[in-house]
Chain A
Amino acid sequence: MSDIPALVAERPELQALWHRHSFVELDARARAHAILDKGTGHEYCDPFDRIESPWLEPQGLVPQADDGLVVVKGQLAGEPCVVIGIEGAFQGGSIGEVSGAKAACALQLAARDARAGQPISAVLVLETGGVRLQEGTLGLNAVAEILSALLELRGLRPVIGVATGPLGSYGGMSIVAGLCTRMVLTHEGRLGFNGAQVIESEAGVAEFDSSDRALIWSVNGGAQRYATGLADALVLDDAPAVRQAVITAVAVGVPERHRSEELDVLAARLGSGDGAQARFSLAGLGLPPAPSPGSARQRGAGS
């Protein structure tokens, strides 16, 4: 293993992994600009507008100037698009009154534009543990507003969810993920409702061992979610690959039936057990199979 470039040279399947530009390691703002066409992004309610949460300081917590959520409008493959990105490093990517209002307003305005004949798609970059506990019902209400705005927009234009990790998408924001037109995940990404520690503390370690990372990823991980049809694309942690997967997902357009309306399909899949065992193997290395950048694995429309 001392000569990694030589190893990569003789293993073509590792080339994409070696040459990637990590998306996971970017902050929310950089992710939004990485998804949009280069140089087209314009941020709304940026940090210098100082629209921060008024509820944190009284509880001894330091607020962030953008409340951990960025809204960047620009072009995606030449078409108007708004990216809503959650900053996972601030308060666990939690949704409070302010960050929730920013996301909900962005989706509402996109829906208004789409109704007025100016179609605009939306991308949600989810990196979140869900509702911000310090803001209680205000956070819950914010999630409800996001859901209602998303439901309005998704009938007009695609709303694409992206969960690349390291946190992934949990809690109330995973209901948002469930309503998205299409979901893009990475192997590192996770998608679930109750997080591992919540399950363990509520139901005991025998039910779910939150220290067992293999267990967590075999239940909530990107590969498992893709295999069970809860995600539509599984991509390498590579910014151009994530962007390409989002472009492809938007191009599919508004489906006749959304995943969240296909309860019969989901229920049948649950019964069959198909795909419940996601495959992580890559001959001997224990690495995920690496799709090459720009050629994201995609499910066909309607699957």
Chain B
Amino acid sequence: MSQHNKTDIHVSLRGVTKIFRGADGGASVHALGPIDLDLKRGEFFAVVGPSGCGKSTLLEVLAGLSEVTEGDVRFEGKPIHGEVMDGVGVVFQEDACFPWMTVFDNIAFGLRQTQLTSSEIDKRVEQALAMMGLTPFAKSYPAQLSGGMRQRVCIARTLVLQPRLILLDEPFGALDQQTRLLMGEELLRLWRETGATIFLITHALDEAAMLADRIGVMSARPGRLLDIVETGWGADRDSRIVETEDFGKITAHLWQWLRGESMKAIARSGAAA
């Protein structure tokens, strides 16, 4: 198998297709694919596309939460088979904090069933708290925190497991624009500090353009990759790149692709998307 060097392939998808069989004899839905894609180790990859194009389905396949109908998905060379792989972390759009636990316990949750000792768990949790700026809130309950803080807790919960691949499904979708920009900077910082491969789904073109090394543009359903855009940013970037001319060019390029696809998606969905 491949050598572990800077440009080696971390995740590979070949001919990945997902078809949902209709419930109670209804029509089946060809949601995704076929998709061919390679993610390089340590890169920041974003996916944009119109509503209902299958972005979330793609993420669920990578997470191991959903099985492919056709095709092959590999993480570090090993096939993913409808089971969550070790070393993969997932952050969802919806607030997933357990309201009956403190922030500390929320973050420690995933570690409690491992073989780690209590003090090791405490150490890792405290590191994650510090990394996400949550240390003063360790004993608070999620209900006392804002939406942005709660998402940080969910991210921290993923970080303590020291994942090598982090999947994020529109993690900042429920937040206001300003918070999103700042959280984006946070995410870049984490990416630099952990060196993990990041796979981010977002509907916000500016977010993708600012954060990613490469951006995959998906078509309307059934979702296929229309183009992969290289941003060429340096690894030390922050939100100030939105002021540059190149930034505008990238978002314009993305919108060129997506305008037509988005109209198709809206036309298709008469009922709820």
Q: Do the two chains bind?
A: no
- A residues with a Cβ closer than 8 A to B are none
